[in-house]
Amino acid sequence: MKNQFSRQDYERIAAFIAERTRYRPRVAMVLGSGLSPLADAVANADSLPYAEIPDFPLSSVIGHAGCLVIGELAGREVMIMQGRVHYYEGYPLEQITLPLRVMRAFGIDTLILTNAAGGLNPAYQPGDVMLIEDQINLVGMIGHNPLMGPNDAALGPRFPNLSDLYDRGLRQLALSVAAAQGLTLHRGVYVGLAGPAFETPAEVRFLRMIGGDATGMSTTNEAVTARHSGMRVLGFSGISNAAIAAIDTDQEASHEEVLAAGALITPRLIALLQGMLARWDEAASP
């Protein structure tokens, strides 16, 4: 598998996908750990296993099905990544973010990111959903940023402005839909870590101290890449465990706990996303 890609590579892979689906969606989603069942709500779907897509990275983590699902959700065409790859699996960032570049070449202009996250905010409980209002990309801040290296201006600017990384209009729509559904939708800051180890109590204290409300092992570099490419970005964290419990209790986090929480989170996210897609035209255009 290649480690470096050009704009022509992204266009080639996008053309491969286009030849295998009747749909031309403009909205895409990435599903996090335990959230793959959300793709089952897609109607009349065309499915492509990642293994059949040239140069696509393959997930090795339980709970990530590894399939590109393209079809209709709430009457709108969508492309869904049923699972992602992570930095801790050993992939370089250029491979991790390749699917986002391919989406943009395909014609996607809006990306909805989801993840399973540990709750840092003491008000959050497993099964809750948090709207990501902003992020702290600790992986990027220590020098592992997907935009490092030569910049192709046709893909995006050398120095992108991330002051509105998570699109304000889409966030407002999400809050409106959640209120109409009676869903408690927290608003907070997501902290991206490399993983795969769960956080120590001292690390949890630090993440809370710097302003984090939830933390996980994905999403932040995907969001940066998508925004660099010109896509609107929206993000949701499904709170799968109370990371803050590590400070004062003997409770141990586990991947099994994360997957189990997905059963609570998935129906809430399905209802929220379907409600948003049904009112999609209310979101301000970029």
Token pair of 183 as six digits: 């869903």
Active-site residue 89, yes or no?
A: yes
Choice among 72, 94, 255, 271 that is catalytic: 255
Grouping H, G, I as helix, E, B as strand and the rest as coil, residue 267 is: helix
Task: Compute CA distances 167 → 126, 155, 171, 235, 238, whole Å.
Answer: 26, 19, 6, 9, 19
The verdict on whether 217 is a catalytic residue reads yes
In order of 14, 131, 175, 268, the CA distances from 185 in angstroms are: 34, 6, 7, 10
Q: Which of 29, 174, 217, 245 is catalytic?
A: 217
| Annotation marks residue 176 as catalytic | no
- Among 121, 218, 229, 240, the one annotated catalytic: 218
Q: From the candidates 14, 36, 50, 64, which is the catalytic residue?
A: 64
Q: Is 29 a catalytic residue?
A: no
Catalytic pick among 88, 145, 194, 203: 88
Looking up tokens 């709207």 gives 131
Catalytic residue among 105, 117, 241, 257: 241
Q: Is 33 a catalytic residue?
A: yes
Annotated active-site residue in 29, 39, 41, 86:
86
Q: Is 59 part of the annotated catalytic residue set?
A: no
* Catalytically annotated residue among 89, 199, 222, 257: 89
Catalytic residue flag (residue 151): no
Catalytic residue among 28, 29, 33, 39: 33
Per the residue annotation, which of 39, 116, 174, 246 is the catalytic one?
116
- The DSSP-derived string for 119-178 is E-STT--TT-EEEEEEEEEHHHHTT--TT-S---TTT--SS---TT-S-HHHHHHHHHHH
**Active site (catalytic) residues:** 33, 64, 86, 88-89, 116, 217-218, 241, 255
